[in-house]
Each structure stands twice: as structure tokens, then as C-alpha cells.
A and B are shown apart, each in its own frame.
Chain A
Amino acid sequence: MRGLAAKLRSVSWSLISRADRFMNRLYSSRFNPLYHSGALVFLLLIVLLITGLYLLIFYRIGEPHASVARITDQAWLGRWIRSLHRYGSDAAVFAVAIHAFRLFAQGRSWGPRTLAWLSGLVLLFVLLVSGWTGYVMVWDVQAQLLAVEGARWLDVLPIFSEPLGRAFVGEQAIPSAFFFLNLFLHVALPVGMFVILWIHVSRIARPGLLPPRGLLWGSLGLLLALSVLWPIGMDPAADAFRIPERAALDIFYAFWLPATRFMPAGAVWVFGLSLTAVALAAPLWTRPAPEGKAEPSSVDARLCTGCEQCYLDCPYEAITMKQRTDGRDGVYAVVDPALCVSCGICAASCAPMGIGPPGMTGRDQLERVKEFVRLLQPDPSEVVLVGCARGAAGFETLAAQEGNGGEPPAHTPGTFDGSRIFQVPCAGNVHTSVIEYLVRAGVGGVLVVACHPRDCWSREGPRWLEERMYHDREAELKERVDRSRLRVFHASVGEDRELAVAVADFRESVRQLAAAKAEAEIDIDLECEVPELLEAGS
């Protein structure tokens, strides 16, 4: 099962990384919509809330189809708002699908992320049901198909003494209570979604709820343009005495309808519940084998100064500060293993190197870099890449995922375009002492290859890395380190070409530095004396 899951994830990751690369080239990583799928969903929910409130004013449960038709006839506002509501809800499903697929492909669906995965599935379910009720509200042919199909499914359950489907055959007028209940659900479910959304992000610090402004206004502008240029029309009203032969089907919400209509209702339940069970169980079947699983962070209380930096930097709020009990004053950091994703960001935030997952602490990194330098024999005209295993410099990531339950590879020093790579699990895990050690050991330059900030598997790795290197964030890179020999480059898996250009550019810059340094070291007096010596000799 794990092998199959790893294979599936590997294929998914390959697909998503190709799409990322394409989007990065078009829109830059900052505005890549694939990186902001979760934030886009939140934005779209707000759009749905605002447009929904407007539609609610004009909707009448006593005459559902006629009232929606009247809204649609409001040429200057109603039609566009209804269309924006519809297209926004479609885009929300699309964004949710990308978000879920991305997290599955990245293996972010198990362990401490289980709550986010499960609540995300609940959100998707509520979104689909909410959309269903929205379509039924219109009471056109599509609504009739959806309502009858829903009733057919429910009629299998042994809880109704009479089939619900009888309500839609025209024996009696459909009671207003039905449309009231439907409207209530259509309002209550989205409100409930905001509560579930709060649970969804409850385990992460500083959730990015909105996309960058350019993407935000761009997305809204496109949806608005679509609403104006291609407004949603009205299908004929539902008629119990006519076969609902043709309808304009919304694939985002009713993709299942063409298949399920011809399946026995029991089979639909079995299929639907099986699919749900598989999705809900993803945290079990996507988690790596125990031997491939990274250990959570631990704290060496003797070294902890109580500075709180790890507590501030942890993207998953896995660290709390507690009163010391060892006779010393102040607080010390405590890691909750149930919340820790072993990203190692805390290791880089600790100047005295007293915290981090086993093998990833600052001290462990220093040990490794010493060995790395010993094998490397530094060349002052060459650059070294300090690369995130999951980014472009993590050339072995995919291969390792297949055989290692999706975990990053061991820290293998490889090469990229002739430059040696010192690989780390996350750029945010790199302790600044490692960078200083490399520079002081005599390498020409250090290029830190991080993932794009919104693509970080540990959420905030590249952000804290830059803060520590250039903006004096605690565990900062010392001032004495020559910044001209350092550079940070963001490149995700597959962006080899971009990385190669960045490496070549930096290498050239480092060589110029080396040349300038060599020139500066020339003893001009000695140089000038040479001809005199030669003359004296002759």
C-alpha cells in the first residue's frame, strides 16, 4: 500500500512541479496561482458571501425560479452578481481541488497535518453540498435533476417511511418549507465553513489567508469580466410533467450526475463512501514507513537561553515556553511532538544550537559541514550550493521519495553544474554558522537555493532564511561575513535551467571578486622593484 501511495505521490508531484514551473515562468513565483490555491479559496468564499447577501435580498422561496429570473433580468447588477456568485463558486471548487492535490503530492497529509487534511476534506464536502443547495434554489431543470437524484439516494436509507422522491413528481405543489430548508442550508453551511476553516488553519502560525494583491485583483477582475461578458442565463423552470431532457450542467458541482443517474442508489452509496474512506484514511496510507520518518525536534534545556526565537519562528506553533524547573530563572522551550513536522526551522533560529530534530540541529549541521569542507578542498573561485532537498538543488528528491516513503533524501553531497551541493531538508533549517563556516573555509561563494517562499514545504523556511541572512533576525549571520560572497536563489524542483543561469552568474561574480582580491594583494613596491633587480642583475 505504501509503495503504491509513494508511486501515486511521485506521479502527482511530477505533474504539479511541471505546472508550477510553467506558471512561474508566466507569472513569477510571487503571483503563481498554484502556490496560492488555499488563499484563493478563502478569497472566493468572501466573494460568495458578499454576492450571496445581495442575491438573498431578492430571492423568494415562494417563487424560486421566477425570483431568480427577475434577478437575472436586472441587466446592470443582478445578472452580473449572480454570474459572479456562480463562477466564484466554480473557481472555489477548482482551487480546492488544486490545493488538496498539491498537499497530497507534497506528502503534507499525515502526522501533525492530519487535522488540516481532514478538516480540508470536510470543507470540500460542505462546499459541494452548499453548491448543490444553491443549484436547487434556482429550481430549473438542473435543479430538478439534482433534487430528484439526491432524493433517490436518500430514499435508500431506512429512515424515511415514504420516499422523498414523491415530493417532486407533481402530486402536490412542492411546499415552501422545502425551499426554506434549502435556503437555510445554503446560508448555514457556508457560515459553518468559516468555522471549519478556522480549525483548518488552527495548527499553523501566521496563515496566509489572502493572495498577493496582484493575484487577488487579477482573479477578481477575470471573474468579473467573465460574469459581464458571459453571464449565466436561465434554464426553463423545473416541470414535473416534462422529462428533464436537457440542462446546462455545472461540471464543478454536478460532475458525478451523468454517472450516478444510471447507477443503483445503493451502489452510489458504496462507491461514495469507499472514496470518502480512502480520502479520510490518507493520513494513514501516505505517512512514511517508520524508518523513513524524521524525528520531532527536541530541546537541550541546558543550552536554551529562553530567548523565545524558536517559539516565534515555528510555523506550526509546536513550541511553547515554560518556566524552568532546574533552578535557573526564566523560561525554556518545549516542543510538542504531536505538532512538530520536523522541518528543522527552529534549529536555525537557535544561536546556541540547543534545539532541532535529531541530525538537523545547528551542531549536527556544523559536524556535517566540516566533513563536507574536508572532502571539498575549497576553491576560492568556485561556489557551493546550500540547497533545500525539496527544491531545485534537491536533485535526488523524486528518486528518494519513491524508495523512502516520500521523505527527503539523506544529506548527500552532490553537484549541480560543477558546483558542489550541501543539501539540507529545508532552507529555513540552515544555521547561519554553516554559511559562515563555508565562507571562512575558503569557498568562493555560497549560493543558498531555497524553494519559492509560497512553495515552502515547511511554510516559512525561505522567509526566515533571508531575515537571518540580511535583516538581523535572531541567530543572524554575523556582520563579519562578506555578503558579496553570499546569495539566495529561489528555485523549485524542475527549475534547473533557471538555477544554472543563477549559478553561472554568481560564479562569474565570485571570480571577479577573486580577481579583484588578487589584484588588491599585489605588493606594488615589490612589483616596481623587479625591473631594478633585473637591471642590477644584467
Chain B
Amino acid sequence: MSRLKVGLGVLVALLMTAAIGALSQVPYRAESGGQAWIRLSWRVSAPRIEECRTFTAEELAKLPVHMRRDKVCETTGIPYRLRIVLNGEGVEETLIRRTGTRGDRPIYVYRELRVPSGTHRLEITLEPEVGVEPLSGDAPVALELAEDLDLSDGDVALITRSEDGRLVVRRAEP
């Protein structure tokens, strides 16, 4: 084997190894600069409501004898209306219902707003839908927040619930 071939062989091996090293830690810019995020993340235990209806004769006939009842009731939660206003402009207005296949899980809010860095006026309300009566004993919670957020480049502000249940803004520790 000639010296040139050996040298070339070593060089190729070194280049391949270096390529593994380089591709293992490629500088990646995941997000452009000059922006900040506002995250909304919390959970609310929505009061239960019960919707009942009577079986039709046809439905009753299909049921086994021991399962025949006058009416059937379905328990779900009160729907909540979420409103987000950013800098005076409505960003979202949505009706949120309890989750889970049986609708027995709490309501959650999970949103991410991407904004330019700077000061932003954020107003959020989460209220039970009007006209739906909860079962006795459950008191619906209404949440609101109105705050000016001063966000630096790369900041993430989290809107969540404090221990006493209010909406608060959490930021990075200074």
C-alpha cells in the first residue's frame, strides 16, 4: 500500500469522524429573536350539571328488563367561555367543556400567544356559561386577569392559577 493511499485513508477516516462530531452538535436557531411568548395554562374544576330525559317506548323495549328505567341522566360540567383580548383586540372567544370520554374531567386552558417583545395589555376572562344551572352544592368559579405585561426578548410569561385560585402571571426569576 503506497504512502499516499495510507495518508488518504487516514484523512478520509478523520474527515468522517469529524463529520460525526460536527453533525452531532449543529448550531440550531429554533426561534427568531425579538419575540416573547404568553402561555395560558390552568385547570378549573367545572361544576356538574345533569341533563335528564325520558326513554321512548322503543328505547325501553330494546333494553333488558332489569335495566328499564323512566329516565336517563347524563352528568357533565358547566361549559365555560374563555375570552382573550390582547392590546384591545379580541384574540379568542371559545366555549370550553369538560374533557374525558365521559366528560368528567376538569376544564383546562392551554394556549400559547407569540408576541413581539415589549409591553402588551392582556385581558382574560373565563366564566361559566350563562343560563346553565349547576347541581346544588357546586359553585362555579369565574376567573379574570387584566394586566400590562412588559416582555423582554425571549421572555415567556405564564398565566396560571395561584394557590388561592386567582389568575396570576409567572415570570422567570430575576
Contacts and interface: CB of A to CB of B under 8 A. Distances in A.
A279 interface: no
7 closest residue pairs by CB, A with B = A241-B172, A249-B28, A248-B25, A161-B105, A26-B9, A251-B23, A222-B17
Nearest to A235: B25
Given A26-B8, A171-B42, A239-B172, 16 more contacts: A87-B24, A161-B100, A163-B108, A166-B41, A169-B41, A233-B25, A241-B155, A242-B172, A243-B31, A245-B30, A245-B31, A246-B28, A250-B23, A251-B26, A252-B20, A252-B24
**Most A-side CB within 10 Å, residue of B12, B13, B33, B35:** B13
A76 interface: no
B146 interface: no
A487 to B, nearest CB: 22
Given A161-B99, A162-B108, A163-B110, A94 B20 contact: yes
B154 A245 contact: yes
Interface of A: 25-28, 86-87, 90-91, 94, 141, 145, 161-163, 165-166, 169-171, 218, 222-223, 225-226, 230, 232-233, 239-252, 257-258, 261
B21 interface: yes
Interface of B: 1, 5, 8-9, 12-14, 17-18, 20-21, 23-31, 33, 35-37, 39, 41-43, 99-100, 105-106, 108, 110, 154-158, 160, 170-173
Contact of B28 (A25, A243, A248): A248
Given A241-B155, A241-B171, A247-B30, A230 B21 contact: yes
Given A87-B21, A161-B105, A226-B17, A245 B29 contact: yes
Given A163-B108, A242-B172, A249 B99 contact: no
A244 B33 CA distance: 10
B173 to A, nearest CB: 8
Given A243-B154, A248-B25, A166 B20 contact: no
A87 B18 CA distance: 10
B99 A162 contact: yes
Provide the main secondary structure of the chain B interface: mixed
A250 B155 CA distance: 25
B24 A251 contact: yes
Contacts of B8: 26
B35 A246 contact: no
A287 B17 CA distance: 36
A243 B20 contact: no
Contacts of B105: 161-162
A90 B35 CA distance: 33
Given A94-B20, A243-B155, A250-B25, A171 B41 contact: yes
B2 to A, nearest CB: 11
Given A226-B20, A230-B21, A241 B156 contact: yes
Contacts of B158: 169-171, 240-241
18 contacts: A91-B20, A162-B43, A162-B110, A163-B108, A163-B110, A171-B41, A171-B158, A222-B14, A226-B21, A240-B156, A240-B158, A242-B155, A243-B155, A244-B30, A245-B154, A246-B30, A250-B24, A261-B30
Contact of B36 (A90, A243, A248, A261): A243
A166 B110 contact: yes
Contacts of A250: 23-26
**Most A-side CB within 10 Å, residue of B12, B13, B20, B35:** B20
Contacts of B33: 245
A248 B26 contact: yes
A249 B160 contact: no
Contacts of A94: 20
B110 A165 contact: yes
Contacts of A87: 20-21, 24
A80 to B, nearest CB: 13
**Most B-side CB within 10 Å, residue of A28, A243, A247:** A243
B110 A243 contact: no
A26 B12 CA distance: 9
Nearest to B19: A94
A247 to B, nearest CB: 5
**Most B-side CB within 10 Å, residue of A94, A170, A223:** A170
B25 A249 contact: yes
Contacts of B36: 243
A61 to B, nearest CB: 23
A226 B15 CA distance: 11
A90 B110 contact: no
Contacts of B173: 241
B17 A248 contact: no
A226 B33 CA distance: 33
A250 B100 CA distance: 37
